[in-house]
A and B are shown apart, each in its own frame.
Chain A
């Protein structure tokens, strides 16, 4: 027998989809800013494994010589990012949705099993609940990363007025590096997130737009709901 299962509240769907283009604008404008002093790399001594970023990457995205434009967009869109983030966190706290999101005591062990399962190594089914532990960790982490981006961002935006915050984060240069690393984190999150959404299929994707999932209760298989 089929039935509709309510999954994502309307407010959370709005916060999610507003955040997507806003974060995109933040990352694009951030890249325009970063280009003007692109000092980060992965490597040691004179050896560079990966430079952030290669010239071809900048040219493909039309990044060079747009610092002023990047700053203008960044310091406008930041308000949308922060306000939407605050609204999301408040809603999650007040509505009780945080209960699905915050990892439990055995989250790490379960998350490992989820990873093994997703890699096709472990065959046992995943727990049938809204978010498994891997999701809980990923989604909670990305919220904390958002907080981190706002804090490191304000630390480099107002390093005199917020000197205490900047110092706490290790000083101006460290705060800038942390701000950058968090952004790399979003890219990583995005890649895994989109891959998992594609894997999970239409029913799951639709729930982030329409709010519900269509489940067949007569089927014995416990279809997991992802992500």
Chain B
């Protein structure tokens, strides 16, 4: 049965030839595509590193951060949990905490940013922070290693601190915040939007108790918008900056934004 618009059936040899011709072309294309993919891979893995990550990957991580920031608004609140689910988090980070701490002499040094550039450094005591409205929240701390734990935190909103002391009057003038331990061995960079989020706290209490030294006494950062690596312990100084500040773990191959 041959329909008029169909060619008459070809001989077996003709079909075999056609099969061989098409196979050859397809496998050649497949081979070239595989070589191109391999070449692309070779190119990628031989690129110089940018802060511990191959620069093309670093570029994409930064774009991912930008996309994430576009979608972040103050209306996005991290889920909160019942207080009784709170547990003691693992003690994981010692960097920046190795020198002895004298709570009596501790003070927070803050470099603000005004329209004419950095403003003179001001110092604050823990009592100054505690005088700000106290905020308590029970949120999930997510470590970049992959574990998580629900913790109850109390402290002052970083945004209240910024507003009360007019540390960065116009947010667009200071798009970043840099937080460092007193010995400057651990440091964290934050985008202003995350820093001013209502769940970003200058925290002084954990699970109903004042912070212990290993958990960041007297003052640490807490923000469920980020991985635990950004929850800097024992804050010694804060600076509001125009340039994206350095970040301890971002210099070691991790995403600078590290946002949730």
Give residues in A with beta carbon < 8 Å to B: 1-4, 17, 21, 33-34, 36-37, 39, 67-69, 71-73, 75-76, 79, 158-161, 163, 166-167, 172-173, 176, 206, 209-212, 214
Q: B61 and A75: CB pair below 8 A?
A: yes
Least Cβ distance of B190 to chain A in Å? 14
Q: B146 and A206: CB pair below 8 A?
A: no
- The one of A67, A76, A209 in contact with B144, judged by C-beta atoms closer than 8 angstroms, is A67
B37 within 8 A of A: yes
Q: A68 and B12: CB pair below 8 A?
A: no
Q: A209 and B26: CB pair below 8 A?
A: yes
B64 within 8 A of A: yes
Give residues in B with beta carbon < 8 Å to A: 9-10, 12, 15-16, 18-19, 22-23, 25-27, 30, 33, 37, 52-54, 56-58, 60-61, 64, 68, 71-72, 76-79, 140, 142-148, 224-225, 249, 252-255, 259-260
A160 contact set on B, CB distance < 8 A: 76-79, 224-225, 259-260
The contact sample of 12 A-B pairs, CB cut-off 8 A, is A1-B9, A2-B16, A3-B9, A4-B18, A4-B19, A36-B146, A39-B147, A71-B254, A206-B23, A209-B27, A214-B15, A214-B16
Q: A72 and B148: CB pair below 8 A?
A: no
Least Cβ distance of B89 to chain A in Å? 14
- The one of B57, B68, B76, B79 in contact with A76, judged by C-beta atoms closer than 8 angstroms, is B57
Tell me, in angstroms, the Cα distance from A212 to B23 when the chains sit together.
9
Tell me, in angstroms, the Cα distance from A166 to B224 when the chains sit together.
14
Contact flag A172-B140 (CB < 8 Å), given A33-B146, A75-B255, A161-B260: yes
Least Cβ distance of B19 to chain A in Å? 5
Least Cβ distance of A40 to chain B in Å? 11
B9 contact set on A, CB distance < 8 A: 1, 3
B146 contact set on A, CB distance < 8 A: 33-34, 36-37, 176
Q: A159 and B142: CB pair below 8 A?
A: yes
A210 contact set on B, CB distance < 8 A: 22-23, 25-27
